[in-house]
Copies of this chain bind each other. A is one copy, B any other.
Amino acid sequence: VTASVNPGGDVAVLVAAAGSGLRLGPGPPKALRLLRGEPLLVHAVRRLLGCPEVGCLVVAAPPGHEEWVRDLVGPGVTVVSGGAHRRASVAAALAAVPERFGIVLVHDAARALTPPAQVAAVAAAVRAGNDAVIPVLPVVDTMTQVGPSGEVLGTLDRSGLRAVQTPQGFRRAVLTAAHAAAHTAAAGPAATDDAGLVERLGVRVYTVPGSELALKITTPLDLAAAELLLGA
């Protein structure tokens, strides 16, 4: 990527890019899989750098692939070694953000086609005074809850459900506190994202509309769908 961050931007973005991508089949780590000849991470970073508010971009790379990632993203982007799980990767990236950034967004490289407008909307909602902001979409499938042995506990009211995307935006102090609390806490319910960690602090989470383009690329079908979206 030849673009760089905007020195005037007030938003730092952390990109979790250390996932394995096992569900895509054998191959390199997920963020380095190709979509139209370019790694997912490159698609993601290019879109993030298309947002003038982004003044700092930190990528948590798959351990062992840091140099490859540095070559891909260019000198305008910070690269750190990712951890064993997503939360550790985010914490490592957060530690690399200069003090002056008060707004931090956390993004997944696997949501490689997330439009810059979605990034801007999340950042704007934090700047407007919300401690935590998530982009969400309505849920199409009926969802049911199952117990530990797979027994059906009951259908959820779909009208009250939303699928959560990224980037998720936070006032920096809130995200830092949430990760510190998660690090020291006894094993609680598995939080799958940063907003989930922040909720445990009792922080109110605000939503903005997500987009179909921000789909999480997890399976070969998702990759094919992403190619279609790129062409559309």
Residues of A that sit less than 8 Å from B by CB: 134, 136, 139-147, 150-165, 189-193, 195-196, 199, 204-207, 212, 216, 218-219, 221, 224-225, 228-229
CA distance A215 to B218 in the complex (A): 15
CB atoms of A218 and B160 under 8 A apart = no
**Chain B residues in 8 Å Cβ range of A147:** 160
> From A227, which residue of chain B is reached at the shortest CB distance?
B228
Instruction: State the number of copies, please.
Output: 2
CB atoms of A216 and B161 under 8 A apart = no
CB atoms of B162 and A192 under 8 A apart = no
CA distance A219 to B151 in the complex (A): 31
Query: Max chain B CB contacts within 10 Å: which of A151, A155, A199?
Result: A155
CA distance A164 to B221 in the complex (A): 19
**Chain B residues in 8 Å Cβ range of A199:** 152, 154-155
Query: Max chain B CB contacts within 10 Å: which of A145, A152, A192?
Result: A152
A206 CB to closest chain B CB (Å) equals 7
**Chain B residues in 8 Å Cβ range of A162:** 143-146
CB atoms of B193 and A142 under 8 A apart = yes
Q: Given B140, B145, B151, B207, which contacts A216 in the complex, CB threshold below 8 Å?
A: B140
**Chain B residues in 8 Å Cβ range of A196:** 142, 155
CB atoms of A158 and B207 under 8 A apart = no
Given contacts A145-B161, A146-B207, A156-B161, 20 further A-B contacts (CB under 8 A): A134-B144, A134-B152, A136-B146, A141-B163, A142-B164, A142-B193, A142-B195, A142-B196, A144-B162, A144-B164, A144-B207, A145-B160, A145-B162, A146-B161, A152-B204, A152-B206, A152-B207, A155-B195, A155-B196, A157-B190
